[in-house]
């Protein structure tokens, strides 16, 4: 039972990370290939605070999120006013820079050996509640003023600008929100595994999140959650194929891109209204 | 000492220039950042190793064969990841995801086949240093610099002096008009991908010689990205200048005691951010506008 609970806990943490990616990529059409480094920032900040300074978990979490936001600001401010490609290239570089810092400040981060002895504070319930709160938050964000502005600038930035949307500001807000969310996911991750090392947070993980999002459908939060559940828990259950996992994901996503570019769920969102519609349709048949 | 450092920086920079140019070529014509270029680097670095150890070839044959493999690989990537998207005129965001996925796929295939062991290239030269007047210069550095300069000059000639080059430059402005002028756009794109992969193959071998081989070697493509950002996205001569600057900066930073090779990427990242604030259009100074 403990094994399945721990898989589910990891899956919920993945869901929080993918929610962040959904806001950046799904809503706004930007790509962050260094998103995993925000997770690293969250995990390491909270871990170091708790180990070296005996800071309580809640305070450490808040501080970790703030540090994540700060780094989001440093990366986002110069890049988000430029062409979209810059954010992808710069976040890729950011990911490498963060890993270099973690590997080299051995006295603080433990270097390549990793940081161990983080107090175990995350449990199944906390991860579940956090994931649900984050999902509700992302859903509300999507239907808020900001979410709609994001969608507008995703499909046509020039037109969005002409409609009076402050494009830079909306992009920055979304990027910051996602950085905070991901840093929080990092805190949960670190205090669940009690051990983190830099290699966990390479660009592969960021790319994997983007792939998970695409699998479910770029425009659908429901899709993002379902595919994180599916792709997040399957590999743990099929351990024997673990080295092939990313290869299989990549092939699936290439197929999806070529033959069903909207992903599995397309624009579909699960809520009371669509649920009623679906039920009625099946009844009629 | 300074001359040696400078030369080492230039040779490192010229390898980065090869990466940056391969990346910029595709960016130029299709207007998206091709993240699968990192995958090309990984695969070719390993291919070069296999060719050099299994076939016992010398550096020149290894380079040529690997570059051809790189070119063919780029064609395969183009076919599987971008061909259909181009036909359907999909939004840029799909190209992006496709290239990321392709990069991830290639990296992980290499991980599956070679596991995460480290390999290193055989020695191609018996003399490790060349005596040039009062200076001792590493042979591989010199060879790398020369080959890169030759390859880059050939590319510049191709782009600025031939009819094909005119077609590439025209394609970077407007694909539809170009096809109305009776140019086979598809063919130009395919050839550009081949050239990009060819250059990627050369840089893959050089990276493999310079560092030890491990599956994540492709992430060194980030040097190419930084060089392109410094030089101005999509601008080829800008990318070359940016890459040479990057190489020299890196060598200088590494020789400063408290930064060292470990923290040099961090300092370079910060320099890039500052550069983006001060001069976002890059060294070349041309901003590519978002197509409305």
pLDDT tens track for B133-172: 777 777 888 888 889 999 999 998 998 889 888 888 888 8
CB-nearest partner of A257 from B97, B225, B277 = B97
Per-residue confidence (pLDDT) for residue B291, from 0 to 100: 46
Q: At what angle do helices A2-21 and A221-237 cross, to 10 degrees?
A: 140
**b/e per residue A90-126 (b: at least 16 CB within 10 A):** bbbbbbbbbbbbbbbeeeebbbeebbeebbebbeeeb
Q: Which residue of A has its CA nearest to B80?
A: A254
Rounded Cα distance between A241 and A252, Å, is 15
Check CB contact under 8 Å for B225 and A254. no
Q: Which residues of chain B have pLDDT under 70?
A: 127, 284-292
Q: Give the pairing type, strands B129-132 and B135-138.
A: antiparallel
Per-residue confidence (pLDDT) for residue A40, from 0 to 100: 93
CA–chain centroid gap for A116, Å, is 23
Closest CA to B246 of B232, B261, B263, B226: B226
Mark which residues 165-224 of A lie under 8 Å from B by CB: 202-204, 207-208, 210-211, 214, 218
Chain B residues with CB under 8 Å of A154 CB are: 93
Q: Which residue of A has its CA nearest to B218?
A: A203
DSSP E strand stretches across A63-167: 115-116
Helices (H), B31-138: 36-54, 59-77, 83-87, 92-114
Question: What are B136's strand-pairing partners?
Answer: B131
DSSP label of B79: I
Give the Å distances, CA to CA, from A239 to A212, A234, A244, A252, B269: 19, 9, 10, 19, 37
CB-nearest partner of A243 from B100, B111, B273 = B111
Decide if the complex's ipTM is over 0.90: no
Q: Which residues of chain A have pLDDT under 70?
A: 1, 235-242, 263, 272, 281-285
Q: Which residues touch A236 (CB under 8 Å, ≥6 apart)?
A: A7, A10
Counted across chains A and B, CB pairs separated by less than 8 A come out at 137
pLDDT tens track for A160-210: 888 888 888 999 999 999 999 999 999 999 888 888 888 888 888 888 888
Q: Scan for tokens 């502005």, then name that residue.
A: A149
Q: What is the pTM of this model?
A: 0.86
Check CB contact under 8 Å for B290 and A158. yes
Chain B residues with CB under 8 Å of A210 CB are: 97, 100
Per-residue confidence (pLDDT) for residue A285, from 0 to 100: 47
Chain B residues with CB under 8 Å of A243 CB are: 108, 111-112
Check CB contact under 8 Å for A247 and B107. no
Check CB contact under 8 Å for B104 and A261. no
**b/e per residue A142-160 (b: at least 16 CB within 10 A):** beeebbebbbbbbeebeeb
Smallest Cα distance from A94 to chain B, Å: 7
CB contact at 8 A, B263 and B278: no
């Amino acid at each position: 039972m403990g094994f399945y609970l721990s898989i589910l806990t990891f899956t919920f943490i993945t869901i929080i990370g993918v929610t962040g990616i959904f806001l950046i990529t799904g809503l706004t059409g930007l790509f962050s290939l260094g998103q995993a480094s925000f997770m690293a920032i969250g995990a390491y900040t909270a871990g170091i605070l708790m180990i070296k300074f005996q800071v309580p978990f809640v305070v450490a979490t808040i501080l970790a999120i703030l540090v994540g936001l700060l780094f989001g600001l440093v990366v986002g401010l110069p890049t988000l006013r430029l062409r979209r490609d810059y954010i992808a290239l710069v976040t890729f570089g950011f990911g490498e820079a963060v890993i270099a810092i973690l590997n080299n400040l051995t006295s603080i981060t433990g270097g390549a050996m990793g940081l161990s002895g983080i107090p175990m504070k995350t449990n199944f319930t906390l991860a579940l509640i956090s994931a649900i709160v984050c999902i509700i938050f992302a859903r509300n964000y999507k239907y808020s003023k900001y979410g709609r502005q994001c969608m507008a600038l995703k499909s046509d930035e020039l037109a969005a600008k002409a409609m009076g949307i402050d494009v830079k500001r909306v992009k920055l807000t979304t990027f910051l929100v996602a950085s905070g969310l991901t840093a929080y996911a990092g805190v949960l991750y670190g205090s669940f595994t009690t051990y983190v090392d830099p290699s966990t947070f390479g660009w592969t993980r960021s790319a994997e999140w983007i792939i998970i999002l695409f699998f479910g459908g770029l425009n659908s939060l429901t899709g993002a959650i379902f595919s994180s559940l599916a792709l997040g828990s399957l590999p743990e259950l099929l351990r024997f194929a673990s080295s092939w996992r990313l290869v299989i994901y990549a092939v699936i996503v290439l197929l999806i891109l070529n033959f069903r570019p909207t992903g599995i769920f397309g624009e579909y969102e699960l809520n009371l209204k669509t649920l009623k519609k679906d039920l009625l349709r099946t009844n009629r048949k | 000492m300074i001359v040696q450092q400078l030369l080492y920086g230039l040779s490192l920079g010229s390898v980065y220039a090869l990466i940056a140019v391969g990346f910029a070529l595709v960016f130029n014509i299709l207007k998206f950042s091709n993240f699968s270029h990192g995958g090309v680097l990984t695969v070719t670095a390993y291919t070069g190793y296999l060719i050099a150890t299994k076939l016992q070839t010398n550096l020149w044959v290894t380079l040529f064969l690997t570059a051809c493999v790189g070119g063919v690989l780029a064609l395969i990537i183009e076919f599987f990841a971008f061909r259909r998207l181009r036909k359907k005129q999909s939004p840029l965001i799909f190209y992006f995801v496709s290239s990321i996925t392709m990069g991830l796929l290639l990296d992980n295939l290499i991980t599956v086949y070679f596991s995460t062991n480290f390999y290193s290239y055989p020695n191609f030269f018996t003399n490790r240093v060349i005596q040039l007047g009062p200076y001792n210069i590493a042979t591989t550095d010199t060879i790398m610099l020369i080959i890169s300069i030759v390859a880059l000059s050939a590319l510049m000639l191709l782009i600025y002096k031939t009819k094909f080059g005119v077609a590439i430059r025209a394609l970077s402005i407007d694909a539809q008009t170009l096809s109305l002028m009776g140019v086979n756009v598809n063919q130009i794109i395919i050839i550009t991908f081949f050239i990009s992969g060819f250059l990627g193959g050369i840089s893959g071998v050089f990276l493999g010689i310079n560092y030890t081989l491990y599956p994540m070697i492709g992430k060194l493509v980030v040097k190419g990205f930084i060089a392109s950002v410094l030089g101005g996205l999509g601008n080829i001569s800008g990318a070359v200048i940016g890459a040479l600057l990057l190489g020299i900066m890196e060598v200088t930073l590494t020789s400063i005691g408290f930064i060292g090779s470990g923290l040099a990427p961090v300092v370079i990242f910060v320099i890039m951010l500052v550069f983006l604030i001060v001069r976002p259009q890059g060294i070349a100074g041309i901003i590519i506008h978002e197509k409305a």
